[in-house]
Amino acid sequence: MRTPGVRFAIINFMNKTIAYIITGIVALVGVFYVITTNTDKEKQVVTPQDYKNIEYVIDGKRVKLTNGVSETEVAPGSASKIITRYFGNEVWKDLNSDGNKDIVFLLTQETGGSGVFFYVVAALADIEKGYVGSQGLLLGDRIAPQTTESGKGKMIIVNYAVRAPGEPFTTPPSIGKSIWLLLDPKTMQFGEVAQNFEGEADPARMTLTMTKWIWISALYNDGKNITPKNANAFTLTFSNDGVFSATTDCNSIGGIYTTKDGKITFNEMRSTLMYCEGSQESEFVKLLNNASSYHFTSRGELILDLKFDSGSVIFR
C-alpha cells in the first residue's frame, strides 16, 4: 500500500509528463501551421514584374529594359549602340478600368547620332502577367519635358517645350506645348486627342460654375487683340451664391455678379493692393466691367460679349 506522499509524487510526475506532451504537440501544430500558411501565402501572392524590366515597342521594334536601360547594336558587329533609357515624369492611373494602378512615363532613345528622342509609354499592371508595356509615342528630338499630368477620365496630358520652326538644336526649347493622350488597351497604342474641336462640349449643359475659367484672349471689332503675357495667370471662378473671384498677374480680385437671360454684370469689385510693373490687371478688370452678356461654345469656351457689341473675351 502506497503512502499518500508517494501517490502525490506519482500524480505530480504524470501531470508534468502530460503537460510536456501537450506543449510539444501544440508547438508542432504551430510550426506546421506557420509552414503551411507561409507556403499558401507564397502561392497566393503575385509580384508584378518591375515596369523598368519589361518590353516596350519603339518605332516598331521591341525593346527590353533591364533596370531601366537597354543597349543594342545599331547593326550586327557595329560599335554604335541604340540606348533606350527610363527618363521619368511618372503618372499612376488606372488606364483600362481593371482596378489596378497603371503607370505612364517617358523614355529617351539615342540611336548613335546627336539626337535624343523622347517617347511616352505605359505599363499596364496585370495580376497574372505582371506589367505589360505599350508602344511608344514619339514626342520629339531634344525637347524639354516639363510635367506629365492625369487628365479627365483616362486622359494623360504631357507638357513639354519645343523650339520655334527654323531654330537650331543649339537653341534651348522655349515654346510650351501640351499633348492630350488616351491609351487603347487592346492595341497598346496611344492616340492623340484633338483639343478645342467643335463638338467637344455641349453648350446647353455648360454653366458658369462648372470650372475655373482661364482667360485666353480679348478680340475687339476694330481688330485689336489682347492676350495675357503670363499664360494661366488670369482666372475667373463663379460660385452659386452670386460671388465671383479672379486672379491676375499681380493681385486677387473678388466681387458679386448677376445674370439674367444671358446677360451678366460684375459689381462691387475689390482687389488686393500689390503693385506690379507691367501688369495687365487693369486691362483685365476693364474687360469684366464692360461685359454685357455671355454664352458658351462647343469648344468648351466661355465668351463674355462686351458692351455696344465692341468685342468679346474668351475664357477656357
Q: Mind listing the pLDDT tens digit for each residue in 248-287? A: 999 999 999 999 999 999 999 999 989 999 999 999 999 9
Contacts for 307 with CB less than 8 Å, ≥ 6 apart: 290, 291, 292
Residue 307: is its pLDDT beyond 90? yes
- In the prediction, which pLDDT does 80 show? 86
- In the prediction, which pLDDT does 51 show? 93
State percent of the chain over pLDDT 70.
Answer: 82
Find out whether 285 and 253 touch, Cβ atoms under 8 Å. Answer: yes
- In the prediction, which pLDDT does 198 show? 54
Higher pLDDT, residue 19 or 81: 81
Tell me the β-bridge partners of 259.
264
Residue 214: other Cβ atoms inside 10 A: 17
CATH number, domain 203-315, options 2.60.40.1260, 1.10.10.10, 2.40.128.270, 3.60.20.10: 2.40.128.270
Nearest to 114 by CA among 84, 142, 137: 142
Lowest mean pLDDT among 75-84, 188-197, 252-261, 279-288: 188-197
Which amino acid appears at position 189 of this protein? Q
The residue written with cell numbers 503512502 in the block is 3
Q: What is the mean pLDDT of residues 14-22?
A: 52
Residue 196: is its pLDDT beyond 90? no
Gap between the Cα atoms of 178 and 93, Å rounded: 19
- In the prediction, which pLDDT does 200 show? 56
Gap between the Cα atoms of 129 and 123, Å rounded: 12
**Average pLDDT value for the chain:** 84
Find out whether 266 and 288 touch, Cβ atoms under 8 Å. Answer: yes
- In the prediction, which pLDDT does 38 show? 38
Dihedral sign, Cα of residue 103, residue 232, residue 300, residue 217 = negative
pLDDT tens per residue across span 21-67: 555 544 444 433 333 333 333 333 334 568 999 999 999 899 999 99
Nearest to 131 by CA among 157, 166, 104, 149: 104
- In the prediction, which pLDDT does 114 show? 85
- In the prediction, which pLDDT does 128 show? 79
For residue 119 the three cell numbers come to: 517617347
Which amino acid appears at position 4 of this protein? P
Q: What is the mean pLDDT of residues 95-110?
A: 94
State percent of the chain over pLDDT 90.
Answer: 57
Find out whether 235 and 251 touch, Cβ atoms under 8 Å. Answer: no
- In the prediction, which pLDDT does 20 show? 53
- In the prediction, which pLDDT does 299 show? 76
Q: Is 62 left (phi over 0), alpha (psi -120 to 50) or beta?
A: beta
What DSSP assignment string belongs to 181-198?
Answer: EEEETTTTEEEEPPSS-T
What DSSP assignment string belongs to 109-159?
Answer: EE-SSS--EEEEEEEEEETTTEEEE-B-EEEEES-EEEEEEE-STT-EEEE
Q: What is the mean pLDDT of residues 1-19?
A: 49
Gap between the Cα atoms of 94 and 112, Å rounded: 36
- In the prediction, which pLDDT does 15 show? 53
- In the prediction, which pLDDT does 46 show? 37
Q: What is the mean pLDDT of residues 166-172?
A: 88
Higher pLDDT, residue 1 or 220: 220
